Structure 1
């Protein structure tokens, strides 16, 4: 084989490898929280494109994926937070997409939203969505309960999303740094998030979902939207 042909073959082979790699990464473009902006999240100075991976994957640690403090979002008790999600295929994140975006939703599953005042030692559930969560095509309203305490300790106050998938036993967890203007004598809910599928916790766990692995799901369940949006105290 001549040097030119050898060079062409090498370039062609490299191109095929890159295409296969890109296709693989595309199909493995899992989910991450987009808003409120989490540690390591898309659009932040600390952005790490791997934020969409699950806990236990190549050093991803619980809590918060192991990421350090990120941008702060101010919240108030009683405020409705329009939670949104991100995947590597979502190139315009300033508004909800109008066309379907490829997303490895793993059939949906169980999403819990929680608050922590101790830097992630404990997370207290304020809302949950089942079966159809997560999905980049929708907003997922979560109300900050009226009776939560104020929290103004940088690095300690967190708004978190956790997800146990439906079609594969994987656990995802992102944290947004927040300050909360809450109730004077407020308390965090007693219920804490469910932890599965990584070291130290029960493995092989999945939750019922909508079965749509990479396609747009049917969206938040209306009854769960009403509950997550209107619950004033926990």
Structure 2
């Protein structure tokens, strides 16, 4: 009976995603996502499933949700990535908005600070077919410190349509050096509330895609204490 109930919920979640959907991570799983590959909620947590996981977090004049939207994931095993590994991430794509500018960032302190590890400006996801699962390679830095509690975040400003910010946070484990630091730039959160930088639609702005804002991102270094990795489950942080 429970299996039938679970199957019914998954079917409803697919319909809900199609009703108001754009793009999100599918692998690694974003927090509280309803995708079949993701950790399942307990019997008392079904009301916490995020059926709107693909929608933007805000626009240039309004913030709808925090950058990671949820403070934690459902209990389950976090995927483990090795420092220096190229991860074949998968995006669940409803509409590609003619691409845009993507940033991928890591956080070792539950989203308080971020370090960008990869960029793809202007044409990111422009070739992703509507209604597809689209693969994007993301390389974990070779000097990334080890930690049982890391967030990998995908951040996207779309080229066409409403001026929006998308973000998709996934809880992961990094196997790298025991202790150390990771340096880069802090991510740009544009079109995310009235106090954020405004990036116009590229097609109607003479090609302005926000280059001056991306170029002005601030350098940042995060330091991670030495720690022993163990088999880790996603839990309340």
Q: Distance in 1 between matches of 2:72 and 2:122?
A: 30
* Residue of structure 2 aligned with 1:84, choices 87, 90, 102: 90
* Residue of structure 1 aligned with 2:56, choices 38, 50, 54: 54
Shift of the 76–49 alpha-carbon distance from structure 1 to 2, 3 Å rule, reads: same
Shift of the 111–191 alpha-carbon distance from structure 1 to 2, 3 Å rule, reads: same
> Which residue of the partner structure matches residue 134 of structure 2?
138
The number of aligned residues is: 169
Q: Distance in 2 between matches of 1:64 and 1:39?
A: 8
Please report how far the alpha carbon of residue 67 of structure 1 lies from its aligned counterpart in structure 2 after TM superposition. Answer: 4.8
Q: Is the 8 A contact 1:116 1:158 kept in 2?
A: yes
Q: Is the 8 A contact 1:77 1:144 kept in 2?
A: yes
Mapping for residues 124-163 of structure 1, pairs under 5 Å: 124-134=115-125, 135=128, 136=132, 138-152=134-148, 154=149, 157-163=150-156
Q: Is the 8 A contact 2:63 2:193 kept in 1?
A: no
Determine which structure has the larger helix proportion and give its number: 1
Determine which structure has the larger strand proportion and give its number: 2
Q: TM-score scaled by structure 2? A: 0.62
Q: Distance in 2 between matches of 1:29 and 1:184?
A: 39
Larger Rg: 1
Please report how far the alpha carbon of residue 31 of structure 1 lies from its aligned counterpart in structure 2 after TM superposition. Answer: 0.5
Mapping for residues 31-110 of structure 1, pairs under 5 Å: 31-41=23-33, 42-43=35-36, 44=38, 45-46=40-41, 47-56=49-58, 60-70=64-74, 71=76, 72-87=78-93, 103-110=94-101
> Which residue of the partner structure matches residue 176 of structure 1?
170
Q: Distance in 2 between matches of 1:32 and 1:65?
A: 12
Query: Once the two structures are superposed, what CA deviation does each residue of 1:124-163 show, in whole Å capped at 9, x if it has no partner?
Result: 11111223323345311111111111112x4xx1011010
Q: Is the 8 A contact 1:164 1:207 kept in 2?
A: no
> Which residue of the partner structure matches residue 95 of structure 1?
none
